[in-house]
Amino acid sequence: MSMTKWLSGTVVLGASLFANIAYCEETKIDVKDLPKAVVDAIHAKYPKAEIEGAEKETEDGKTIYEVEIEYEVGDKEHELEISLTPEGKILEIEKEIDVKDLPKAVAEAIAKKFPKATLKEAEEVSKVADGKDVVDSYEVTLVTADKKTIEVTVTAAGKITEEEEKKDDDKKEDKKDEKKKEEKKAEKK
């Protein structure tokens, strides 16, 4: 292979990687900076919700807000991440669930692909269409037998559609978020 071909291939690969990175940009934002329509939509669907955090994401030139909320039903506390348009249209809802509550097909698909993995956390992902929440998939964070942390997306029917290894920076950020949640819970008591 000539040096020119190698260099041009490297430039094309580098440019495509840069384009993919620029393709989706996420930024943490202060809750007070959320558009009124976003806050109103959350409180309309979850009247007693407490907004815990927010991110602004630009993907394919479209802005999406991802908002973390906590709300109580009876004596049980729930944590959700809601994706909305700037106009307040709810697109997706991610709800933390106990890993033991995963549907059988999902648990079996993960056990088959990652036989000795330890399941750490799970989220039920619902798409919102015509005002109705419909379970679309499950996101499961697990630790493999060789100690890799992976987030797996599985359809309700048990088909694995995505696998992403979590980097050390992601793990540190998750631990910081978990610590903040625990501190807030302790303050409430």
> Domain check: are 88 and 124 in the same one?
no
As a whole number of angstroms, the distance between CA 3 and CA 59 comes to 36
Section 107-118 average pLDDT: 95
Q: What is the CATH number of the domain that holds 35?
A: 3.10.450.360
> Using 50, 70 and 90 to split pLDDT, how confident is the model at 75?
confident
Choose the final residue of a domain: 37, 58, 92: 92
**pLDDT per residue over 13-52, tens digit each?**
344 434 444 456 789 999 999 999 999 999 999 998 999 9
**pLDDT per residue over 78-112, tens digit each?**
899 999 999 999 999 999 999 999 999 999 999 99
The closest alpha carbon to 149, from 128, 129, 121, 177, belongs to: 121
3-state secondary structure of 130: coil
Look at residue 16 and tell me if it is in a domain. Answer: no
> Domain check: are 88 and 102 in the same one?
no
Residue 76 near residue 121, CB atoms below 8 Å: no
Residue 139 near residue 151, CB atoms below 8 Å: yes
> Domain check: are 124 and 65 in the same one?
no
> Domain check: are 50 and 114 in the same one?
no
Residue 93 near residue 145, CB atoms below 8 Å: no
In the chain, % of residues over pLDDT 70: 76
